[in-house]
Structure 1
């Protein structure tokens, strides 16, 4: 059950991270990082790894985008 919840949280974070790739919408990645960390914590409590891995991928994509944009843009 926690794995399904972690996947759902990861999908919500992904919905925020993908538009954050567009220039001038980089601030959405901060929200994606926060939601992704929550999903990662829920996924860590689960016995399966798929939800945790999805949240790790979302966090990596959001973090790379934030580092390229200087954290804002």
Structure 2
């Protein structure tokens, strides 16, 4: 059940990351990274790894987007 919640959080973060990829909406990634961290915690409490791995990949993607945009754009 916790893995399913972690995947659900990951899907929400994924769609948010698509919005954050648009120029001048990069700041939105600052809100998504803590949400993805919450998904990682839920995934760590589960016996499965897929939700945790999904959220870790999304954290890396959002962090790279922030680095490319200088942390704001």
2: CA distance, partners of 1:14 / 1:45: 21
CA RMSD of aligned residues (A): 0.7
Normalising to structure 1: TM-score of the pair?
Answer: 0.95
2: CA distance, partners of 1:59 / 1:18: 13
Question: Residues 16 and 31 of structure 1 are in contact (CA less than 8 Å); yes or no, is this contact kept in structure 2?
Answer: no
Shift of 1:18: 1.0
Question: Residues 3 and 42 of structure 1 are in contact (CA less than 8 Å); yes or no, is this contact kept in structure 2?
Answer: yes
Q: What whole-Å deviation, never above 9, does each CA across 1:8-54 have from its counterpart, x for those lacking one? A: 01111111111111110001111111110000011011100000011
Instruction: Could you list the structure 1 runs, at least 4 aligned residues long, displaced by more than 4 angstroms after superposition.
Output: none
Number of corresponding residues: 73
